[in-house]
Amino acid sequence: MLGQLNNLHTAFKFFIQISLELVILFIGITFLVSLILQYVSQEKVQKVLAGKRLGLGNLIGAAVGGVTPFCSCSAVPMLMGLLELGIPFGVAMSFLIASPLGVFNPVVLSLFGTLLGSRVLLLYIVTTFVAAVLAGIVLEALGLGKYVKKVRLISSCCSSGDAAVTGNGGNLFKDRLTVAARNAVGLFRQMVPYLLIGVAIGAFIYGFVPENFLVRVAGPDNPLAIPVAAAIGVPMYVRTETMIPVGFAMIKKGVGVGAIMALTIGGAGASIPELSMLAGIFKRNLWIAYILTMFSIATLIGYLFNYLVMM
């Protein structure tokens, strides 16, 4: 009985501490991102990528995709818009892969840095960015662009809405601040359940799940832990913001960081909602190739993390 109370106290302390840190961090970073995005529209993103060739275009595509945290439902319409502008298929795919992974997304990166440390943060940025660039080049080289269906972009479910603030004189910046604050609060209300669920799961793991069990099943010495985690993540809708606190608790219990990365990347890069939308514009060959690409990226990065972090 005393042991259970100690476990409950440990789990509760973990939940309160991590929740407070993430709530403050999330609102602050989201406010800044929302303010910046009022100066960036989807049309501007498309113009930046227009006319870029394979190679340099993939670098720019992955960079722009990684730094522009558009809502997930606009990822596919954005891809369609890029292709309609004549941007090379591989460049558009680098954008598509980098965007949901939050390669340079300040919210995702701040969570990574706060909970998992600067080394893991740096490795995540480098590996996911390189993977997005190379994947776009490979998919282009394989000639998979011919498997894009001929569909036209009508509209995006996410309007730029507050991205363009009208006003005059010195009130314009004040209006932007108001919009940024409103967006930050609105997004926080949408995301707080996922954040708290993630922290709650992490707190339960941290307080109650035996360490030797987790190490045996998903520790760095189990070579099958990473591909299994990637395979579970690909069909599962895992929000990165939810998975990071869960991963933090699991790593502290001895789970390999590679398995956590594989699950996070697989779930974020190939969620069921995104795959459903992609099925509307990708023929079967390309749709399957995309799923295999995300599984491969998640698995390879997982193994790479285990190797580099243990050095």
Buried b (16+ CB within 10 A) or exposed e, 135-152: bbbbbbeeebeebbeeee
CA dihedral 27, 33, 37, 38 (to 10 degrees): 50
The answer to whether residue 184 is domain-embedded is: yes
Which is nearest to 187 in space by CA: 265, 127, 106, 257? 106
* pLDDT (average), residues 139-166: 65
pLDDT mean across residues, the chain: 75
Residues 6+ apart with CB under 8 A from 159: none
Per-residue pLDDT of 277-304, as tens digits, reads: 788 789 999 999 999 999 999 999 999 9
Find the domain containing 301 and state its range: 10-309
The answer to whether residue 5 is domain-embedded is: no
pLDDT greater than 80 at residue 130: yes
Residue 220 corresponds to which tokens in the numbers above?
């760095």
pTM of the model: 0.69
The answer to whether residue 1 is domain-embedded is: no
**How far are the Cα atoms of 81, 123, 129 from residue 134, in angstroms, in the given order?**
22, 16, 9
The answer to whether residue 2 is domain-embedded is: no
The answer to whether residue 3 is domain-embedded is: no
Number of domains in the chain: 1
The band of 160, judged by pLDDT with boundaries at 50, 70 and 90, is very low
Residue 56 corresponds to which tokens in the numbers above?
């340099």
Angle, vertex CA 91, rays to CA 61 and CA 59, nearest 5 = 45
pLDDT of residue 210: 64
The band of 14, judged by pLDDT with boundaries at 50, 70 and 90, is confident
* Single-letter amino acid code for the residue at 32: L
The answer to whether residue 4 is domain-embedded is: no
Q: Is 162 exposed, middle or buried (0-12, 13-18, 19+ CB in 10 A)?
A: middle
The answer to whether residue 180 is domain-embedded is: yes
pLDDT of residue 194: 65
pLDDT greater than 50 at residue 19: yes
Say if residues 288 and 245 touch (Cβ distance below 8 Å): no
Buried b (16+ CB within 10 A) or exposed e, 293-310: bbbbbbbbbbbbbbeebe
Say if residues 218 and 250 touch (Cβ distance below 8 Å): yes
Q: How far apart are CA 311 and CA 187, in angstroms?
A: 38
* Most confidently modeled range among 76-90, 97-111, 127-141, 187-201: 127-141
User: DSSP letters of the chain?
Assistant: -HHHHHHHHHHHHHHHHHHHHHHHHHHHHHHHHHHHHTT--HHHHHHHHTTPPTTHHHHHHHHHHHH----GGGHHHHHHHHHHTT--HHHHHHHHHHHHHTTT-HHHHHHHHHHH-HHHHHHHHHHHHHHHHHHHHHHHHTTGGGGB--------SS--GGGS----TTHHHHHHHHHHHHHHHHHHHHHHHHHHHHHHHHHHHHHHS-HHHHHHHHSTT-TTHHHHHHHHHTTS---HHHHHHHHHHHHHTT--HHHHHHHHHHHHHS-HHHHHHHTTTB-HHHHHHHHHHHHHHHHHHHHHHHHHHT-
pLDDT of residue 240: 64
Percentage of the chain lying above the pLDDT 70 cut: 68
* Single-letter amino acid code for the residue at 172: L
The answer to whether residue 227 is domain-embedded is: yes
**Bridge-partner residues for 148, per DSSP?**
282
